[in-house]
């Protein structure tokens, strides 16, 4: 798809693969290619679930600091919105998305992982938001998604100290969901999404929208949003199939419609 990011589709899984050696630094081109890959994964009906993967050695070690070093406030005021939007496109993929983390997921790389639904990490992986050591803060969702995932106190600890956490601490605080040997990370990510490949795509989409959208609302608004999504599913073929299969005591055959 691009010079540094491509979408590979196999057996219903779309793998968004980063390939910008040596550290998969997220320069402007990578950011825009990530946005394009996320859009393609969203619209391609052959993609039922997504894995974001940086390869066997490193997930993504952050933004391209050399590119950013000479940018002015005016430059970054415009670019920061696009950076956030690039990872926002990934977060809005209406399908299950797993980050397969090897090596480092730091700065923008950690923010990339945070934009996914789940994270599986290698036993030797390191994660963190070290931007404070450069005199800045995370600017692509780190302050917002991290706090929602691990709570504000832990998020402030990681962001304000800039320290890295190993895989076991990341698992303990909820930053990652599974830890496996490094050579099993991608296979584990496949195992995580496989149950969803034959599932009811519209219901899975609605579930993700309900949770993610509800986090932005007060409780009453979230409940109203849930009710709308719930009722809308009664217009789908998969709802009819799922209920008919339940009544007939057979396994449903969902089509994604």
DSSP letter string, 47-84: --EEEEE--SS-SB--B-HHHHTT--HHHHHHHHHHHH
Q: Residue 1 pLDDT > 80, yes or no? A: no
**67 band by pLDDT with thresholds 50, 70 and 90:** confident
> By the 8 A CB rule, do 125 and 103 touch?
yes
Per-residue pLDDT, 78: 82
Q: Is the pLDDT of residue 246 over 90?
A: yes
Catalytic machinery residues: 63, 108, 111, 131
Instruction: Kindly state the tokens that stand for 255.
Output: 């089509």
Share of the chain above pLDDT 70, in %: 100
Q: What does the pLDDT average to over 35-45?
A: 96
Per residue in 204-222, pLDDT (tens digit) is 999 999 999 999 999 999 9
> 201-248: which CATH architecture?
Orthogonal Bundle (1.10)
- The predicted model gives 227-233 an average pLDDT of 96
- SS3 call for 118: strand
Domain with CATH 3.90.226.10 in the chain: 5-196
pTM score of the predicted model: 0.93
Dist CA 189 CA 50 (whole Å): 9
User: Do the beta carbons of residue 17 and residue 26 sit within 8 Å?
Assistant: no
CA–CA separation, 175 vs 146, rounded Å?
8
| CATH classification number, 5-196, choose in 3.90.226.10, 3.90.1150.10, 3.40.50.1370, 3.60.15.10 | 3.90.226.10
pLDDT at residue 183 in the model? 96
Q: Tell me what percent of the residues of the chain surpass a pLDDT of 90.
A: 90
CATH 1.10.12.10 in the chain, residue ranges: 201-248
């Amino acid at each position: 798809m691009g010079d540094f990011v491509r979408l590979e589709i196999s057996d219903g899984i779309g793998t968004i693969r980063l390939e910008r050696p040596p550290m998969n630094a997220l320069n402007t081109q990578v950011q825009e290619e990530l946005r394009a890959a996320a859009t393609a994964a969203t619209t391609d009906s052959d993609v039922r679930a997504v894995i974001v993967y940086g390869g066997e050695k490193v997930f993504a070690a952050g933004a391209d600091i050399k590119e950013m070093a000479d940018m002015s406030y005016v430059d970054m005021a415009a670019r920061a919105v696009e950076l956030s939007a690039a990872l926002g496109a990934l977060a809005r993929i209406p399908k299950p998305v797993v980050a397969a983390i090897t090596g480092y997921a730091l700065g923008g790389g950690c923010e990339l992982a945070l934009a996914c639904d789940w994270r599986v990490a290698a036993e030797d992986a390191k994660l963190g938001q070290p931007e404070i050591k450069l005199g800045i803060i995370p600017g692509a969702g780190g302050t917002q998604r991290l706090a929602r995932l691990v709570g504000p106190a832990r998020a402030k600890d990681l962001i304000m100290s800039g320290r890295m956490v190993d895989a076991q601490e990341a698992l303990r605080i909820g930053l990652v969901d599974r830890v496996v040997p490094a050579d099993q990370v991608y296979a584990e990510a496949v195992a995580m999404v496989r149950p969803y490949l034959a599932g009811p795509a519209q219901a899975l989409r609605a579930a993700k929208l309900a949770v993610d959208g509800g986090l932005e609302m007060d409780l009453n608004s979230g409940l109203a949003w849930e009710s709308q999504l719930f009722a809308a599913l009664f217009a789908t073929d998969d709802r009819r199939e799922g209920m008919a299969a339940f009544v007939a005591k057979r396994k449903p055959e969902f089509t994604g419609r």
